Structure 1
Amino acid sequence: MAHLWSGRFDGSPDAALFEFGASFRFDRRLFEDDVMGSLAWAEAIAAAGVLSSDEAARIRAALEEILAAGKDSSFFSSA
């Protein structure tokens, strides 16, 4: 299978690029915890007065949407 960059560049990408992307399967296992941590952080900085209640609500809604999307396995295959 041709890579997206085939035909556009003369050389191959650096091997480090592929090593970096190889962690994606592991990162997927951390997805829910990562989003939950972001939700908790948004709540904490809202409680500290850094975010307005409207900003916190918008961030919470966006993170909950991301969390719901992540429950569908096709979400990760499109990344």
Structure 2
Amino acid sequence: MAFYFHDNAKRARGRPITTFSMTLNNDLKILQNRSISLTSQEDLETLRKIAERRQEWITFTADIKKAAEAARSDDTPSGRP
């Protein structure tokens, strides 16, 4: 996870590899009411502390799931599933 924060001078050609860190950061962007993002090592530590508290982590992931489902339903044209 710490590798995610290092700036790679040379990148490979083609489509970037989707990593867990990138996916998690995208999910965190969906949450508008949380002040957590994945931009530094300190943010990673904050997420680790949340994950250590089971009930808080369950609530946190449920919020991400609800926000993602709401965003997905906004993308779906009306009248289509």
Question: Structure 2 length as normaliser, TM-score?
Answer: 0.33
Question: Structure 1 length as normaliser, TM-score?
Answer: 0.34
Structure (1 or 2) with the larger CA radius of gyration: 1
* Higher helix fraction (1 or 2): 1
